[in-house]
Amino acid sequence: DSGVTQTPKHLITATGQRVTLRCSPRSGDLSVYWYQQSLDQGLQFLIQYYNGEERAKGNILERFSAQQFPDLHSELNLSSLELGDSALYFCASSRDGGSIGETQYFGPGTRLLVL
């Protein structure tokens, strides 16, 4: 158990809908990352937050947004969903997100299926 929790585990929705994925980092970790893993692909970095502020952006679509709250949990919002958004979405956390040698610890993921 990495200490990172994600809800829900599974989500089935229809095209055009909006969903929210939730992540709670490990105790003491200030940085949260979101990744997308499509079928047979590696993990694609979406976005990073540090202590409530956006720190880095990767290949995140404009239809997607995220935020980190004062209690450090994070939410990833996916809107106007398309079939191609079906994927595993992972959250990871780390101590500060800027130190060399720092390890990211991953949650179990949310499997999103868009029909």
Q: What angle do CA 6, 87, 98 make, to 5 degrees?
A: 55
C-alpha distances in Å from residue 57, one per residue of 4, 14, 16, 21, 65: 21, 27, 24, 18, 11
Residues 38-97 that bind another protein (CB under 8 A): 40-45, 48, 50, 55-56, 58, 90, 92, 97
Query: Shortest distance, CB of residue 18 to another protein, whole angstroms?
Result: 24
Stretch of residues binding another protein (CB under 8 A), selected from 11-19, 67-75, 77-85, 102-110:
102-110
Angstrom distance (rounded) from CA 81 to CA 63 = 8
Interacting residues toward another protein by CB under 8 A: 2, 4, 6, 33, 35, 40-45, 48, 50, 55-56, 58, 90, 92, 97-109
